[in-house]
Amino acid sequence: MPDIVTAAMIVIGDEILSGRTKDRNIGHLADIMTAIGIDLKEVRIVSDDEGDIVAALNAVRERYTYVFTTGGIGPTHDDITADSVAKAFGVPCDYDDKAIALLGASYAARGIEFNEARKRMARMPKGATHIDNPVSIAPGFRIGNVHVMAGVPSIFQAMLDNVVPTLKTGAKLISATVPCGYGEGMVGGPLGAIQKAHPDTIIGSYPKYLDGKFWTELVVRARTQEAVDSARTDIEAMLADLDRQQKASNLA
């Protein structure tokens, strides 16, 4: 059985915390991680503050297999991710020759001045390697287990597509969803017993509230199909039981 591979995400940017920009990258990373068998264990959204970024990075990079960051790698004064990552790793942050050449050639081809602001996008921690950016050239970078990517969703997604094939993927969680017409208050008791009887699964219960009525999505997750199927069978039996009780009480 493959190892369990874990990840954390750090979203960097005052604009998310102020509500100006609504994050669209967390859900995308979560979907991709689940699809390839990496457990996303934690997400932190932090402000454009070097101390906060360094503290968050150092808290998660030792703990999880991979760390992914978004935001703060553009050419303006509030883009401080490269410097913060360098500080977290205790290495200098400087212009990267390959990035300077790449960006220089791209701006030259378009007849655009390669000014100091644009050159900021070529700065990265010593020892970092590029993450290609097919959308707008300026690369992200990887250092240790940390992958630093753009915050603009189309660029983040393109960079992540380039990162995914380089990742060690783990034992994929298999899941099964059982829709349930009862609210959580109805299934909570028996479901807890089923969870106890199936310790090799994670059984989640997600309340939905629509038009004044509660219903629930029950989700079984496990590393093997057998474990999922076994718990699902018990859940379906529980729901059939509730249906029978409901019917009997309607007839009574």
Q: Which residues form the interface with a copy of itself (CB under 8 A)?
A: 14-23, 26-27, 30-34, 39-48, 52, 74-79, 112, 115-118, 120-121, 135-136, 151-152, 154-155, 173, 184-189, 191-192, 195-196, 202-209, 214, 219, 221
Q: Nearer Cβ to a copy of itself, position 26 or 91?
A: 26
Q: What DSSP state is assigned to residue 252?
A: -
Rounded to a whole number of angstroms, the minimum distance from the CB of residue 44 to a copy of itself is 5
**DSSP for residue 164:** G
From the CB of 168, what's the least distance to a copy of itself, in Å? 19
**Please, which residue, 169 or 205, has the CB nearer to a copy of itself?**
205
CA distances from 243 to 178, 186, 187, 188, 220 (A): 14, 11, 12, 15, 20
* 131 membership: H or E segment, kind and range: strand 129-133
Chain-centroid distance of CA 27 in Å reads 7
Q: 41 vs 130, which CB is nearer to a copy of itself?
A: 41
71: helix, strand or coil: coil
β-partners of residue 40 are: 7
> Cβ of residue 6: shortest distance to a copy of itself, in angstroms?
10
Closer residue to a copy of itself in complex, CB, 97/211: 211
Strand partners, 215: 208
Rg (CA), the chain: 23
Pick the closer one to a copy of itself by CB: 30 or 91: 30
Q: In the beta sheet, which residues pair with residue 222? A: 174, 201
Tell me the closest approach of the beta carbon of residue 38 to a copy of itself, in angstroms.
11
The CB-of-127 to a copy of itself minimum distance in angstroms stands at: 25
